[in-house]
Structure 1
Amino acid sequence: MTAEEGRPELSIVIPCFNEAENVAAIVAAVTAEAVRHAASHEIILIDNGSTDGTRAIMRELCRVDARVRVIFNNRNYGQMRSPTYGLYQAEGRAVIGMCADFQDPPDMIGDFVAQWRGGAQVVLGQRRSERAALPLRAARHLGYAFLRRFGDYPVIPGATGFGLFDRAVIDTLAAWNEPEPFFRGMVVESGFRLALVPFDRPQRAAGESKNDFAALASFALSGLAGSAKSLLRLPLLLSGCTMALAFVLLVGGIAALALEGPVWALLGLALGAALFAVLLLFLGLIGEQVRMLAERSRGVPLVIEEERINFPPARRRPAARTLIQRP
């Protein structure tokens, strides 16, 4: 039997962090859809350091169904590294990545598989609407706007990473060895044949979202640093404007002192603070890229595994950065 013949047709990867209320239900729903639409399948749960009983439920799911496989990380590696690592560990001829909270509807699996069998190499769910708080929606819109304006390749609005990826896509992106993989951008950058499936994103089935404003901000900055190289050239274009404004501020400040006009002095200080904030933003992005370059040169793994369950012996994808923590 060749390696290709031994692969499941479909792998479904579900990252989890404190999803005790959802994980059993999502596995049941996904299993039902996979049995209906694929000749064979596996489900990979990758746990990112849960502390609420999620791991005990995962162990029981593995005991009941050998097609359910689990990777336990030794700590929380964030919402970019852990899900992407899980995708790289899948063996299916097609790989689906989705959330555990039912905001990525399992009943779309059939649509994804149909598009893939029709020739698409990447099939992404595209969110038409979402029931979320206004600040969260505003933060996402702002992040997409920045990426569309400054990104090195087109960003698909409403595409969160929920989708199906052909074996060739997974193998190609795993070989890139990105230390902070902005996966939804990488699949567009790679240029594989892409199809979109619009959907209305529901609310979480249970539990609370782990994507607070700080997590979204960190995600957006990593995405900008990894996929918006042209943004770092913008300071060169702004340098002339900055020098002109600095001259105006200097003249205005001298005039304000001479005329004893505090309003003009305060305005000058405000403009100076705004310029300083812009400079700090660019320095921060440069720092992010320097950090990513340093991690790439060090060969830092995406995650360190604590344990894996129900995987065939010695199965570990060589293209993905991997470490196993020994007891």
Structure 2
Amino acid sequence: ELPPFVDPRTSRDFIHVDDACAAFVMAAVKLHPQIYGESFNIGSGRKTSIAELAAVTKTLFSVAQEPQFGSMEARSWDLADWYADPSKALASLGWKTTISLEDGLRSSAVWVGSLSEEDFASNSKKDSSKRKRSVSAVIACYKDSQAIPVMHRRLTDTFLKLGIDYEIIFVNDGSPDDSAQVISTISATDPRVIGISHSRNFGSQMAFRSGMELSTKDAVVLMDGDLQDPPELIEQFYAKWKEGWDVVYGRRVKREMAWHWGLMYKAFYRVFASFSYVSIPLDAGDFSLMDRRVIGWLLNCPERDLFVRGLRAYVGFRQTGVDYVRPERMFGVTTNSLLKNIDWAKKGIFSFSNTPLTMLTAAGVVSLALSILAAVVVALLRILIPDIAPRGATTLLITILMFGSLNLFAIGLVGEYVAKIMLEVKGRPRLIRAALIRHGVSTELLPNGKTR
């Protein structure tokens, strides 16, 4: 069946993809200072009208239908005749086309005929509304070498069950174990697996960003590598995404841990939510599925002291949660501690809340009012009832100690915000990728992102 056509006199220059690729290869091989910055027309140099193209197509593929010229409106900004002058490419690069229009159409037909229905739909606009969406899984790994093979198997089983296109990106965040080697071994047998190795440990948040920057699918799932985020939950995330939700996060209704730790985590999320100037969902960690446009806005956020779950709430869009019970680590022991959890709480609160400064201002105003009131009361007592007026240094020392402690607390609180400002204005790299792992090969990366 022939498609709609514009005016039959409109002409174009048709070139086969193999010839175009050969031109790029020849340009790279022949590159020298004399041609730096030069432009080359890559084409056959043959002016082929739409009428000629239709006639060739009818002959090659035995199409009985007559072409309907003028059934498609020409673009107002386009040229009627558009074909290349490849003489410069021939003179400087020694390149010219080797595949005729007729041979190119035949080989293209053979390639299309070799595609399955699913492959054809994914590589064309056919049934695009029914095409299944693709997902990138980004896994932050630190001391998780034992868990990585299990994570890969469970993720693969989940994606195969969904019947979707996918990729799995393991980010080795400076792990001291053999995580890089384990990722390399898996990628040697599974081309859908990509590994990223950082030059040192930059933290899980930067590991997520590193993976998101290299992801290529329609959505991204963020997961910790310790298997506390069950991969099987992605099936429910995907269903919610298909319903129209842009962000689907896991909501931890229960944790398999000591009761006092669980209580502390729940308290943090509620304090964080009450302090934050954006609406933060309760008990929602980093485990989530985000649509590609949400990822785009997340990556546009320039901060270096990253707090993904806060930024996820900040960018907005349609968000919903899926309840689950968070299990204990399958291998090893947790790398968290009380001090790390306190630092984590500070990161979230100071990144998305001005409430501590507001409380400090309020405390200063109240303290000033109480000081003035106390001074007035003491003065009146000295004048009216001197016998009961407070005397001695004890009261003075207690007052000085109280206000001195308040000042130290205020300085420390302001210092936390200043420290975050310093981290941002230094402009250091957010993360450093040391190597990229694909097909079992680890390739060292240069600062410009190119391979060594």
Q: TM-score range by the shorter chain?
A: 0.7 to 0.9
5+ residue gaps, structure 1, are 312-321
User: How much has 1:232 moved relative to structure 2?
Assistant: 2.9
RMSD between superposed Cα atoms in Å = 3.1
Deviation at 1:250, TM superposition (A): 8.3
For residues 434 and 450 of structure 2, the distance between their equivalents in structure 1, rounded to whole angstroms, comes to 5
Distance 1:202 1:212 in 2: 18
* Distance of 1:19 and 1:90 partners within structure 2: 21
How far apart are 1:201 and its partner, in Å?
1.0
Alignment partner, residue 208 of structure 1 = 333
AA aligned opposite 1:218: D
Match of 1:71 in 2: 196
For residues 402 and 373 of structure 2, the distance between their equivalents in structure 1, rounded to whole angstroms, comes to: 10
Residue number in structure 1 paired with 2:406: 275
Q: Secondary structure at the match of 2:224?
A: coil
Higher relative contact order, chain-length normalized (CA < 8 Å, sep 6+): 1
> Which residue of 2 is the match for residue 284 of structure 1?
415
Is residue 435 of structure 2 the alignment partner of residue 304 of structure 1?
Answer: no
CA distance in 2 between partners of 1:161 and 1:50 (Å): 20
Q: Report the Cα offset of residue 289 of structure 1.
A: 3.5
Q: 1:12 is matched with which residue?
A: 137
In structure 2, what is the Cα distance between the partners aligned to 1:230 and 1:269?
26
Matching residue's letter, 1:271? M
The residue identity in structure 1 corresponding to 2:403 is G
Q: Distance in 2 between matches of 1:68 and 1:173?
A: 23
Q: Distance in 2 between matches of 1:70 and 1:243?
A: 58
Any conservation in 1 of the 2:305–2:424 contact (CA below 8 Å)? no
Q: Distance in 2 between matches of 1:270 and 1:146?
A: 29
Aligned to 2:385: none
Residues 260-290 of structure 1: CA distance to partner in whole angstroms, max 9, x if unpaired? 685x577546633542353134213321342
1:154-303 → structure 2 map (5 Å cutoff): 154-245=279-370, 259=391, 268=399, 271-272=402-403, 274-295=405-426, 298=427, 300-303=428-431
8 Å CA contact 1:306–1:324 kept in 2: the answer is no
Shift of 1:307: 0.2
Q: Which amino acid aligns with 1:304?
A: I
Supply the distance in 1 between the matched residues of 2:133 and 2:432 (Cα, whole angstroms): 25
Aligned positions of 1:71-110 closer than 5 A: 71-110=196-235
8 Å contact from structure 1 (residues 249, 272) kept in 2? no
Q: 1:279 to 1:138 in 2, by over 3 A?
A: farther
Deviation at residue 100 of structure 1 after TM alignment: 1.5
Q: Which residue of 2 aligns with 1:30?
A: 155
| 2:170 counterpart residue number | 45
* Alignment-derived partner of residue 114 in structure 1: 239
1:157 to partner: Cα distance: 1.2
Q: Is the contact between residue 9 and residue 94 of structure 1 (CA under 8 Å) also seen in structure 2?
A: yes
Q: Does structure 2 conserve the Cα–Cα contact (< 8 Å) formed by 1:8 and 1:42?
A: no
Q: Would the aligned equivalents of 2:246 and 2:291 in 1 still touch at CA under 8 Å?
A: yes
CA drift at 1:83: 2.0
- The question of whether the paired residues in 2 share the 8 Å contact of 1:129 and 1:199 is answered with yes
CA contact (8 A) 2:245 2:320 kept: yes
Cα distance in 1 between the residues matched to 2:402 and 2:256:
38
Unmatched 5+ stretches in structure 2: 1-122, 383-389, 440-446
Tell me the alpha carbon deviations over residues 188-224 of structure 1, each in whole angstroms, 9 at most, x when there is no partner: 1111101110111111111111222222222222222
Other structure's SS at 1:46 match: strand
> Following TM superposition, where does structure 1 have runs of at least 4 consecutive aligned residues deviating by more than 6 angstroms?
248-253
8 Å contact kept, 1:225–1:288: no
Bigger radius of gyration? 2
- Pair 1:259–1:182, CA change in 2 (3 A): same
Partner of 1:319: none
Which shows bigger deviation, 187-196 or 266-275?
266-275
Percent identity between matched residues is 23
Q: Distance in 2 between matches of 1:294 and 1:140?
A: 31
Contact 2:357 2:414 in 1 (8 A): no
C-alpha distance in 1 between matches for 2:375 and 2:195: 62
Retained in 1: the 8 A contact 2:253–2:283?
yes
For 1:231 and 1:81, the matched residues in 2 are separated by: 26
| 1:315 matched residue in structure 2 | none
2: CA distance between counterparts of 1:221 and 1:265? 34
Q: C-alpha separation between the residues in 2 aligned to 1:272 and 1:40?
A: 62
Q: 1:177 to 1:265 in 2, by over 3 A?
A: same
Code of the residue aligned with 1:106 in structure 2: it is P
